Amino acid sequence: MKILHLYYDIMNLYGDYANVRAMERMMLKNGIECSVDRLSFNDKAVLSDYDFIYIGSGTERNRNVVCEDMKKYRDELKDCIDSGKVILMTGNSFEMLGKSITGAGGDAAEGLGIFEFTVSEQKKTRNTADAVFTADFLDRELVGFINKCSEIEGIDKPLFGVKMGLGNKNDGREEGLRSGNLFGTHLTGPVLIKNPHFLTYMAKLVSGADTELSEEHLKYEKAGYEITLKELSALNG
């Protein structure tokens, strides 16, 4: 199995590299040969060569710079999404997939235009919150943290329901984006470490639904998840 960590050096807030390490470790612990390519500017990846593609979160400035560079992948990325390639984009990276990003000063920049949604950034403070989300494809809730200055309009296929925290719109009840096997969420933590059941779900998509995956090596991640969910649930009443 081949993993691509794209813009690993510039889109790597909140320890996002650990999402890739978690996927790699899951495969290796289950006897699946796995390699990771970490590519950035001045590299040209062939996206279709990979089984799992990951892009993490960056500053707004870095996201905008990456968005310009990502335009070289625009058509190939769309083909990967349409064909069911497993892709995870966390933090503000999935904001690049929309039509436009309007900055706090009112200047608008073109996104990749793969989806019709639009992103607008606020002028004042960042919005932060602990989060508890639900997913119709998982039997357990998800936990993590949100740190963003943007709101998103026009996503018709959200990834998660909001039980606690911030949605695509700050007061919204839906968060993220899902299209086939593309998963985009502002949830950080890193999300696959904080939510081992989500890791297992994604690993099954990558390795094949019929693959039996052991979770024995996830005992600490599972314990951490249970503690976090209990504490956040208590805060949420």
Name the phi and psi angles at 161, rounded to 5: -95, 145
**pLDDT exceeds 80 at position 237:** no
How many CA atoms, within 13 angstroms, populate the side-chain half-sphere of residue 142?
Answer: 32
Helices (H), ranges, the chain: 17-29, 60-70, 74-83, 191-194, 196-207, 219-235
- 38-76 pLDDT, tens per residue? 999 989 999 999 999 999 999 999 999 999 999 999 999
Structure confidence at residue 190 (pLDDT): 95
Residue 9's pLDDT is: 95
94: Cβ contacts below 8 Å, ≥ 6 apart:
55, 176, 177, 184, 185
Q: What would the pLDDT profile of 205-231 be if each residue is shown by its tens digit?
A: 999 878 899 999 999 999 999 999 999
189 band by pLDDT with thresholds 50, 70 and 90:
confident
Q: Where are the domains of the chain?
A: 2-235
**Residue 126 pLDDT:** 86
Q: Which two tokens stand for residue 68?
A: 């310009």
Residue 171: per-residue pLDDT:
87
Q: pLDDT by residue (tens digit) across 79-121?
A: 999 999 999 999 999 999 999 999 988 899 999 999 999 999 9
Fold for domain 2-235? Rossmann fold (3.40.50)
Mean per-residue pLDDT, 21-47: 96
- Specify the pLDDT at position 170: 85
Binning pLDDT at 50, 70 and 90, where does residue 130 land?
very high
124 pLDDT above the threshold of 80: no
What pLDDT score was predicted for residue 164? 96
Calpha distance 94→56 (Å, rounded): 9
Concatenated DSSP letters of 135-180: -TT-SS-EEEEEEESEEEE--SS-SEEEEES--SSTT-SEESEEET
State the average pLDDT for the chain. Answer: 95
Statement: residue 200 has pLDDT above 90:
yes
| pLDDT computed for residue 65 by the predictor | 96
Per-residue pLDDT of 149-186, as tens digits, reads 999 999 999 999 999 999 999 888 999 999 999 999 99
Check pLDDT > 90 for residue 125. Answer: no
Walk across the sheet containing 118-121 and list its strands: 108-110, 100-102, 118-121, 150-153
Task: Give the number of other Cβ atoms within 10 Å of residue 43's Cβ.
Answer: 11
Reduced to 3 DSSP states, what percent helix, strand and coil does the chain have, rounded to the nearest 5? 35, 25, 35
pLDDT at 123 over 80: no
